[in-house]
Structure 1
Amino acid sequence: MLSKIKRIAKKSKLVQKVWKDVNVKVSFNPNICEITPINARKSEVKEKRLNLLVPSINQEHIFGGISTALKFYEQLADELGCKRRIITTDASPSSEDMKRFNKYTLVSCSEDSGVDYQVVPFNDRYNKTVPIGKNDVFMSTAWWTAYAAHNLIRWQSNEFNQEVKKSIYFIQDFEPGFYAWSSNYALADSTYRSELPQIAVFNTRLLMDYFKLNEYTFHEEYCFEPTLNEELKNRLLQINEFNKKKQILIYGRPSVQRNAFELIIESLKVWVWQQPDVREWTIYSVGEKHPDVDLGNGVKVESLGKLTLDGYSSLMAESYAGISLMISPHPSYPPLEMSTFGIKVITNNYGNKDMSYFNDNINSLHQLSPISISNKLLEMNKEFQVNIKNNPRNESYINNKEMFRFINHINI
């Protein structure tokens, strides 16, 4: 009976029109939430203060990118010898989140506080303002934080009748690529083309070169190369020989489109019917918790979610193969980490990016499809061996203690 009603409804033009109108009304939203204004008021704080605009410092949001930005921010504040204030634009940290920032005090935006080491949550900002002083300077991260910083800098210049101050733009990807051609694409792009004097700090020379190839220019430009996390490094240096299992590790973040989770799954669905000893292999997904995925032929992807660094290092040490894609000009951290822990990794080229230079364990594909990825995985697995000597390459990646060597050249 129900199926009959559905068939009749599908043939009715009136029903189709009502359905379409309801969908339009429900989905219609002419607003862009990322650029909800951050309004300012005059602060009496006179000292120089470095303000970090960052979406969140909550534990669940701190992956490699935010962690790197925080590290740079702290070193820059040390170099400048100024006060520190972190303004979170998208989320408010809990008391548990603040434990990682034990030097910092949680301060309400309603207070004009001169205390050093502040965290000011500003995600709930309706009818609220943030106090901005004459000597506040800004460091932005995600594009919408740069958009907000630009407006604050213009307001500051007008309010205090002074020259526009330089700001730091910490760029870790080509962020217009996070969207289809759209309003958000145009807004993200606009932050790279601002008339304001921006000091761009790029995560990798590859990314900086991509911007240059696409004719973006900044007041000053610097770049740095990522280094292995200190805890992962300590674990790595304890290993003389990896004891590998028939185990595949994928970087699985379904909510992040540029990590191409669906393409990885489709590739594995092809691979399970081609690998002769497929039942002997185990596949784990890390990075973000999601339902396990049935690949067919009695094989599944088991999701482990976001691991502790100790758990992550142990899993990498025992895994033979890995797949970690990044559909952007930034190399991303997982392929570097996996390959350093002796994993044969499949990743991808993009624009001027080709990660095969990093070490012999990385296979950087020019053409991505389920067939090409599956074929490369089959090829790698033919060479499976249990015992692999830990012979670390990329000395600068493992032991680089001065990631931001240029930091003393920055003057804002």
Structure 2
Amino acid sequence: MINVKAGLLLGLTRLFFAHPWVLIKRVNLLNIRLLLAAIRRHDPATVMNYVKHAINQEKNAARIQSADDSASPGLRKARELETRYPGITVPVGLGGISILEEKFSVPNHKVDPHAPTRVNVLLPQLDPLIMFGGYIACLQFIRKIQDAGFRVRILLVESDRFDREAVYAKLASNPPLQQAVAAAEVEDITSGSNTLVISPHDAFVGYSFWTCIKAHRLAEVLGKKFIFFLQEYEPIFHSHDSYYAIGSYVYRLPHRAIFNTRLLADYFKSKRLGVFSMDRGDELEEHYVSFQHALTPTSPPSVDQLLKRETRRLLFYGRPEGHARRNLFEIGILGLRAAIAQGAFDGDWEFHGVGTLGPEYDIDLGHGRIMKLRGTLPQGDYGAALGEYDIGLSLMLAPHPSILPFEMASAGQIVVTNAYESRTAETLRAISSNIEPCEADPFSVANALATAVGRVALHQERIDGASFDWVRDWDDAFDKSVMDRISDMLRA
């Protein structure tokens, strides 16, 4: 590993001396951080190609900028385009080729018939800063298969950073998950410098479509199918581009699927995606199972507590960062502004937002209303904190509905959330009467918020709507029937 890193540093040094003016021009804190992150997440060849592309891009930009009337027609056209539409000629596709090649490569490995049989769970990283609901569900899965007698090895695919103590601290309130991580082997296969030893009887579980490419390549070595721990239709994370197409390709690979929620499985079934893409007859049941993502236990306030409230409160799941565009942050804010402008929130209302990865923000909602957007709820007891709000707003333009709308509803909130494809308004209302469905546009959101305000005073209805058929405990989420199906998949 040390020799690999030393070779990479030597190669980068040679590039610096060969193109000093280009690299000096690009030296800034952001680019240094991006380079260090690339070194940790990619093999040396990919990093070198990444830097070479940056050099060529800078040189091409200089050629375009300095092109005069004697330059080639292509350069003159590029100069004119850049004058009118800055950035339009940047060849972003060239920079992604080597990264995609790396993602398709099979990890260095050897098959050892004497190696212990493991379930290999491929994760992008195991970083407590981004261990959200999807990671918690996967760790619960790991805990349950360990309880069923399977030996688990976590393979880190996109980051060689693993701070076990920091992960333990993140899971301090959940000792069973701490024990699950402690019992699991953790191995880094990020840089490709290590040789992964696998048993002929190993199973491979992918957490995302990117990790599933590696899971497929390793399972293919053994003549087996990988298992997709499926928590979203992931192509929606990307534009209609090469990444989107590759995401769609992964669902066509031979695999078995574990779906996070029946609603997500229903979407795949309705679109004939993945395991539903071919008619397997009775055999189909062996290829997939779904579990219900357990809700955080909550308790709705009593009628007396609701009657005593002088100030009403709205909670918005607001995620303004680029990675969470499916949560429709802008549409949520525009819908709130429209509802406020129409007088829906006349009276004593507070507006709170959670979900940002950045610092706290004050967001102007118009007409003197301000929303405080922060990362988490101010109160340590998440379940109890949800019960202090009267209306929830949580949007999701994706097949998986997210879990927060149902946790809000179980805390007695009237929840505005959007329908999507097979997740119809009727389906959402059938889960809980506390859900007020809308379409994914600001005007529908505003109308649904106005309706929700009118329902806030129906205290007993809110309390009744907080009780609905959804698991609140992970042992119920992965009950015996689910675990029997999962165990059969892992042994196949």
Pairwise TM-score range, normalised by the shorter structure: 0.7 to 0.9
TM-score in terms of structure 2 length: 0.69
The equivalent of 1:173 in structure 2 is 232
Counterparts of 1:277 and 1:183, CA distance in 2: 44
How do 1:12-411 residues align onto structure 2 when only pairs under 5 Å count? 16-18=80-82, 24-25=89-90, 27=92, 29-31=95-97, 33=99, 36=103, 37=105, 39-42=107-110, 44=112, 46-79=115-148, 81-91=149-159, 92-99=161-168, 100=171, 102-103=178-179, 117-123=184-190, 125=191, 127-154=193-220, 156-157=221-222, 164-194=223-253, 196=254, 198-218=255-275, 220-229=287-296, 233=297, 235-236=298-299, 240-241=302-303, 242-243=305-306, 245-255=311-321, 256-275=324-343, 278=346, 280-290=348-358, 291-307=361-377, 310-354=380-424, 355-365=428-438, 367-385=439-457, 390-391=463-464, 392-398=466-472, 401-404=475-478, 405-409=481-485, 410-411=487-488
Deviation at 1:147, TM superposition (A): 1.0
CA deviation digits over 1:236-261, x for unaligned, max 9? 28x54554541110111122011111
Instruction: State the AA in 2 paired with 1:346.
Output: V
| TM-fit CA distance, 1:66 | 1.5
Q: 1:64 offset after TM fit, Å?
A: 1.4
- Please give the secondary structure, in 1, of the residue aligned with 2:484: helix
Contact 2:107–2:192 (8 Å) recurs in 1: no
User: What displacement does 1:278 show?
Assistant: 3.9
Distance in 2 between the 1:303 and 1:93 partners?
30
Instruction: Say whether the 8 Å CA contact 2:417–2:437 is kept in structure 1.
Output: yes
Return the letter of the residue paired with 1:98: V
Q: What SS does the corresponding residue of 1:345 show, helix, strand or coil?
A: strand
Label 1:183 to 1:22 Cα distance change in 2 as closer, same or farther (>3 A).
Answer: closer
Name the SS of the counterpart of 1:352 in structure 2. Answer: coil
Per-residue displacement from partner, 1:334-368 (whole Å, max 9, x unpaired)? Answer: 11000000000011111111212111110122x33
Q: CA deviation at 1:272?
A: 2.0
Contact 2:122 2:156 in 1 (8 A): yes
- Matches of 1:286 and 1:65, distance apart in 2: 17
Distance change >3 Å, CA 236–CA 310, structure 1 → 2? farther
CA distance in 1, matches of 2:329, 2:315: 13
Task: Give 1:139 deviation, angstroms.
Answer: 0.9
Q: Give, in whole Å, the separation in 2 of the partners of 1:322 and 1:137.
A: 41
> 1:87, 1:119 within 8 Å by CA — same for their partners in 2?
yes
How far is the alpha carbon of 1:14 from its aligned partner?
A: 8.6
Structure 1 pair 401–347 and aligned structure 2 pair: CA distance change class (3 A)? same
Q: Secondary structure of 1:150's match?
A: helix
| Distance (whole Å) between structure 2 residues aligned to residue 169 and residue 14 of structure 1 | 44
- For structure 2, the 5+ residue unaligned runs are 1-75, 172-176, 276-285
Alpha-carbon spacing, 1:368–1:303, altered in 2? closer, same or farther (3 Å): same
Paired residue type of 2:210: W
Change (3 A) 1:294 1:188: same
1:21, 1:369 → 2: CA distance?
Answer: 31
The structure with more strand, counted as a fraction of residues: 1
Q: RMSD across aligned C-alpha pairs, in angstroms?
A: 2.9
1:261 partner letter: F
Comparing both structures, which one devotes a greater share of its residues to helix? 2
Report the Cα distance in structure 2 between the residues aligned to 1:61 and 1:203, rounded to whole angstroms.
19
State the secondary structure of the residue aligned to 1:402.
helix
2:471–2:477 Cα contact (<8 Å) kept: no
Q: TM-score, normalised by structure 1?
A: 0.81
Residue 120 (structure 1) shift: 2.0
Residue 43 of structure 1 deviates from its aligned partner by 5.7
Determine if contact 2:339/2:345 at 8 Å carries over to the other structure.
Answer: no
Shift of 1:199: 1.8
Give the Å deviation of 1:21.
7.8
When residues 380 and 402 of structure 1 are mapped into structure 2, their CA distance, relative to the original with a 3 A threshold, is closer
Find the counterpart in structure 2 of residue 6 from structure 1.
Answer: none
Report deviation, 1:27.
4.3
User: 1:268–1:21: structure 2 CA closer, same or farther, 3 Å change rule?
Assistant: closer
| Structure (1 or 2) with the larger CA radius of gyration | 2
- Percent sequence identity over aligned pairs: 26
SS at match of 1:228: coil
